[in-house]
Amino acid sequence: MIDLKKADAAQVTFLNDAYQHNKVAHAYLFVDPIQEAGIATAYWLACRFLCSGENKPDGTCNNCQRILSGNHPDVFLVKLDGKQSLSIDQIRPLKAELAKSPIEGSRRFFIIENAEKLTLAANNALLNLLEEPVAPVVTILVTNNENQILPTVRSRTQILHFEEEVQNNRAVELLEYGLNSNEIAELTNSEKIEQETKYFYQEIKEKDNLALVRAHHLAETNSTAEQKFIFFILKKLALAELQKDTTRLAATKLLDLLMQCDQMRASNVSFRNCLDYLVLKY
Ligand SMILES: [Zn+2]
């Protein structure tokens, strides 16, 4: 069962706008490093067209349920199913479907997951499909690697970039903050560290005893990049709080302290001592 909640909010806004202005493209390339949001967004679009509820797409009406569970006659999914590549035999049935008109709705949807795994023959069959003019079909290729899609296929699609851009924004932010590109590349575990740093921040603010335990756990890293990243996140959280009037004073105090502790870190005070000082001083 596909979960519509996993659809990407920004892309959903964009596609909804296209839908309302009758400008939905006949072929899309969703570039999504993890593909989960890409697939959910593709299904969101199918539900947007075919939903029979009032708030389209509701995800709960009979049509949406059939689409999301893979049982709607107008929505096709091509995927690896444990194989190494997507073969021409998986694309051919789509071509046969093109000859028919939609069974229930106004449009049919061909969704291709892991499009980077299409064989050359499958790509060529797909190309034919994308060249067929009149059929009311939306083909959505979802891939984690735009560069592995044949340029001739790519050029026939409208390309939407998922999450990757968010990651790029973060990279830009980190560069501006003062990490160099080697250090940014070193942050392979940043999501986990970020989550733990958020807990840590919360514990400091609540003067929770667990803050010291967390500090010692965070202090286990010897990577300068990770240490910088931890302070980057802490300051970001404090800065965000500065925007809110009610907590302004406390956030100012905490931010001052964070600056001080980060300076200690930069002047080679041990990372553990920096974090201890932060917890105890606040
Ligand atoms: Zn529905």
pLDDT tens sequence across 91-108: 999 988 887 877 777 889
pLDDT at 227 > cutoff 90: yes
Which residue, 236, 233, 232, is CA-closest to 266? 232
Mean pLDDT score, 28-50: 93
pLDDT at 212 > cutoff 80: yes
**What is the Å distance from ligand 1's center to 46 Cα?**
10
Which residue, 67, 66, 48, is CA-closest to 58? 48
Q: Are residues 177 and 158 in the same domain?
A: no
pLDDT at 142 > cutoff 90: yes
Domain termination residue (choose one: 117, 136, 162): 162
DSSP collapsed to 3 states, 156-198: CCEEEECCHHHHHHHHHHHHHHCCCHHHHHHCCCHHHHHHHHH
Count the Cβ atoms, other than its own, within 10 Å of residue 163.
Answer: 18
∠ CA 24-28-32, rounded to 5°: 125
| Structure confidence at residue 238 (pLDDT) | 87
| Structure confidence at residue 245 (pLDDT) | 60
| Structure confidence at residue 246 (pLDDT) | 63
Mean pLDDT score, 182-210: 90
Q: Are residues 126 and 62 in the same domain?
A: yes
Q: Are residues 135 and 273 in the same domain?
A: no
**What is the Å distance from ligand 1's center to 107 Cα?**
15
Q: Are 139 and 28 in contact (CB under 8 A)?
A: yes
Pick the residue with more confidence: 122 or 169?
122
Q: Are residues 143 and 73 in the same domain?
A: yes
Q: Are residues 10 and 140 in the same domain?
A: yes
pLDDT at 233 > cutoff 90: yes
pLDDT at 202 > cutoff 70: yes
Q: How confident is the model at residue 111 (pLDDT cuts 50, 70, 90)?
A: very high
| Structure confidence at residue 167 (pLDDT) | 63
Residues with CB in 5 Å of ion ligand 1: 51, 53, 58, 61, 64
Q: Are residues 95 and 226 in the same domain?
A: no
Q: Are residues 158 and 173 in the same domain?
A: no
- Give the count of domains, the chain: 2
Mean pLDDT score, 99-125: 89
Domain coverage including residue 266:
167-281
Q: Are residues 133 and 211 in the same domain?
A: no
Domain termination residue (choose one: 162, 185, 210): 162
**What is the Å distance from ligand 1's center to 24 Cα?**
19
Q: How confident is the model at residue 162 (pLDDT cuts 50, 70, 90)?
A: confident
| Strand-by-strand arrangement of the 158-161 sheet | 75-78, 108-112, 137-143, 27-31, 158-161
**What is the Å distance from ligand 1's center to 66 Cα?**
9
pLDDT at 164 > cutoff 60: no
Q: Are residues 265 and 249 in the same domain?
A: yes
pLDDT at 220 > cutoff 60: yes
Q: Which residue has the tokens 């190309």?
A: 127
Phi, psi dihedrals of residue 144, rounded to the nearest 5°: -100, -5
**What is the Å distance from ligand 1's center to 54 Cα?**
8
Give Dmax over CA atoms of the chain in angstroms.
Answer: 72
pLDDT tens sequence across 257-274: 999 999 999 999 999 999
Q: Are residues 138 and 228 in the same domain?
A: no
Domain termination residue (choose one: 162, 187, 205): 162
CATH number of the domain that 35 lies in?
3.40.50.300
What is the tally of helices (H) and strands (E) in the chain?
13, 5
pLDDT tens sequence across 7-38: 988 899 999 999 999 999 999 999 988 788 99
Q: Are 118 and 151 in contact (CB under 8 A)?
A: no
Q: Give 121-127 contacts, CB < 8 A, sequence gap 24+.
A: 121/87, 121/88, 122/85, 122/86, 122/87, 122/88, 122/90, 122/91, 123/150, 123/153, 124/88, 125/88, 125/91, 125/92, 125/95, 126/91, 126/153, 127/152, 127/153, 127/156
Q: Are residues 49 and 151 in the same domain?
A: yes
**What is the Å distance from ligand 1's center to 37 Cα?**
19
pLDDT at 168 > cutoff 80: no
Q: What is the DSSP string of 49-94?
A: HH--SSSSS-S-SHHHHHHHTT--TTEEEE--TT-SSB-HHHHHHH
Q: Are residues 76 and 11 in the same domain?
A: yes
| Structure confidence at residue 165 (pLDDT) | 55
CATH number of the domain that 217 lies in?
1.20.120
Joined together, the tokens standing for residue 48 give 């947007």
Q: How confident is the model at residue 251 (pLDDT cuts 50, 70, 90)?
A: confident
